[in-house]
Amino acid sequence: MNREASQQSQPPDYVAALNLDTDPFQDRHEPRFFYADPVLMQRLDLLQHLTRFSEQLLYVRAPEGAGKTMLLHQLRLRAADNWHTCQLDGAAMGSPAELYVQLSRCFPDAAAENTEHFGSDLIHYCLGLQQSGQLAVLVIDDAERLPAPVLEALLGLARSPAETLKALRILVFATPALDTTLQSLAAASPGDALVHTLDLPPFDEQQSAAYLMYRLAIAGYSGDSPFSATEVRAMHKTAAGRPGELNRLARETLLEQNQQRAGLRQAAGAVRRPQRGAWIAGVALTAVALIAGGLWYLGSRAPELPLLSEQTVQLPPANPLVPPVDTPPAAIDPEPDTRPPEVPVRSGTDAAPVPPALVQAPDMQEPQAPAGDPEPAPEPAPEPAPEAVAPESPAATDAPAATTAPELETPDGPEETAVPVAPADSDAAAAPDWLTEQPGGYYTLQLLGARAPETVERFLARHGERIELHPIRTWRGDAAWHIVVTGSYPDRAAATAALAALPAPLRKLQPWPRRFEQIRAELPPE
């Protein structure tokens, strides 16, 4: 017993995972979790009006889990000051005697339950209240559990059911199982219209999604819906639009999501290291096999190279385009390096390479012919035709034969232009002055929440012409969170009623009411 109580008192794991203050889908009837849907508010206003002026038994009919008890609590909270309200439980009255005991506790000034004239005394007391501007109201929850004799005794407090209903307002909240009992009572009084029935309609799919987000927001959640569209559709279909059943299914769905996340983390931790070791071992074995195969292939298929002999090669002039200069002969190494030095080229350029004939090594000079009849020098090996070069000026002939490589100019490319980047704290992301002007207890409708400010800018560009939108940058965790809100309403009921006036594309986003003081608390630190 104590273990079950402790388990029920402990919040589920998703409360901490979603950073909630409390479990929004627990089976309870706190006034702050009342979802003031426009259709439901219309039923509540009508019920208040009929309680004041109707002289019929008011029958609020809906299946189990449709929100009858929550509506009853709201009716009591909105009761007029001149109402003397008595609430009874249909399951606690199994006989007329138990009914009289409960009524005597609600109206102690009427009469004692053991008097023979309890009914007439109670009716006389209720009529006296009406003469002083007050009203006696009896509300019975789970009235389908009332036995038929108890309901007959209730309506028979006066000489007729009609006289009883004139003195005492009676409201019963029940499932359709009460229809049979009420029909038999109406048949006993064919001339009187004793019962006025009010049905509570179920939610449609859009209302179900908005209801779930509303309860999450009341519990402290701020962000996108934790339910996918498929999950919302499945929950709505299974619950048939009943709030109580939606609470149960949402709770089970969040628990299942949390268990799946925990299972994935455990599986990843158990499999990650073995898989990584096996992968590395496989790669290493494959690499060794490839290297061994490559070495064997090169050793078995490589051709024998001929022996090299040393040869002396007569070098051509270092630069055949430059005329010889009278300089003393210089010793030449037996095997000079005839490769031209690398010419430094500026990075990022597309300039054509300089022909080797235009570059001469700094430590080489032109060889001078020996004395006597000169022998014709061997023709140099044919080289690619160099690009046309302008003849050197006379001053260039006085310079040493060794010349340095000319510096290459980078061709003019297209000039790069810097693309302006919008600053992070743009007007679309900062909290506007409009927010500071709103009273903290007022409500607004949140339409969007996103990490990227570009998402907010696209949303404003798409919907900003239809309705007045206000982008606000808040702080969630350790990063910015951008939201878009609209409207300012004095209470939650007015904000909920304004949902019907939004354009259809915005209603599909399932906006929900939020207090301005809650949004201000989420503004980024200065």
Q: What is the pTM of this model?
A: 0.52
What's the pLDDT score for residue 412? Answer: 42
What's the pLDDT score for residue 492? Answer: 86
Confidence tier at 178 by pLDDT (50, 70, 90):
very high
Measured in whole angstroms, how far is the alpha carbon of residue 22 from the centre of its chain? 20
The answer on pLDDT for 169 being more than 70 is yes
What are the backbone dihedrals phi and psi of residue 195, each rounded to the nearest 5 degrees, phi first? Answer: -120, 135
CA distance 448 to 456: 8
What's the pLDDT score for residue 269? Answer: 57
- Quote the longest CA-to-CA distance of the chain: 163
Look up residue 341 and give its two tokens.
Answer: 């030095």
Q: What is the mean pLDDT of residues 430-453?
A: 85
The answer on pLDDT for 41 being more than 60 is yes
The answer on pLDDT for 61 being more than 80 is yes
Q: What is the mean pLDDT of residues 118-141?
A: 93
Residues 179 and 253 in one domain: no
What's the pLDDT score for residue 276? Answer: 56
Q: Is residue 349 part of a domain?
A: no
Averaged pLDDT of the chain: 75
Range from 137-146, 332-341, 444-453, 469-478 that averages highest in pLDDT: 137-146
The tally of domains found in the chain comes to 3
Q: Is residue 310 part of a domain?
A: no
The answer on pLDDT for 399 being more than 50 is no
Note the pLDDT tens digit of each residue in 182-213: 988 887 777 678 899 999 999 999 999 999 99
CA distance 488 to 480: 23
What's the pLDDT score for residue 124? Answer: 92
Look at 453 and 28; give whichever has higher pLDDT: 453
Q: Worst-scoring range by mean pLDDT, 174-188, 325-339, 435-449?
A: 325-339
Note the pLDDT tens digit of each residue in 147-163: 999 999 999 999 889 99
| CATH number for the domain harbouring residue 507 | 3.30.70.1070
What's the pLDDT score for residue 270? Answer: 55
What's the pLDDT score for residue 186? Answer: 80
The answer on pLDDT for 514 being more than 80 is yes
Note the pLDDT tens digit of each residue in 450-472: 888 998 999 999 998 889 999 99
The answer on pLDDT for 414 being more than 50 is no
What's the pLDDT score for residue 86? Answer: 94
Residues 74 and 172 in one domain: yes
Residues 219 and 133 in one domain: no
Q: Is residue 372 part of a domain?
A: no
What's the pLDDT score for residue 289? Answer: 78
Confidence tier at 510 by pLDDT (50, 70, 90):
confident
Residues 84 and 191 in one domain: yes
Note the pLDDT tens digit of each residue in 47-58: 999 999 999 999
CA distance 296 to 450: 60
Note the pLDDT tens digit of each residue in 262-299: 776 666 555 555 555 566 666 777 777 778 777 766 66
Residues 123 and 230 in one domain: no
**One-letter amino acid of 6:** S
Q: What is the mean pLDDT of residues 115-119?
A: 75
Domain limits at 101? 38-199
Range from 108-112, 116-120, 468-472 that averages highest in pLDDT: 468-472
Residues 103 and 138 in one domain: yes
DSSP string of 195-260, one letter each residue:
EEEEE-PPP-HHHHHHHHHHHHHHTT--SS-SS-HHHHHHHHHHHTT-HHHHHHHHHHHHHHHHHH
Residues 238 and 261 in one domain: yes
Residues 67 and 181 in one domain: yes
**Helices (DSSP H) in 302-424: which residue ranges?**
394-397
Residues 135 and 234 in one domain: no
Domain end (from 169, 199, 229): 199
Placement of tokens 């031209």 in the chain: 340
Note the pLDDT tens digit of each residue in 345-397: 444 434 444 444 333 434 444 444 444 444 444 444 444 444 444 434 333 33
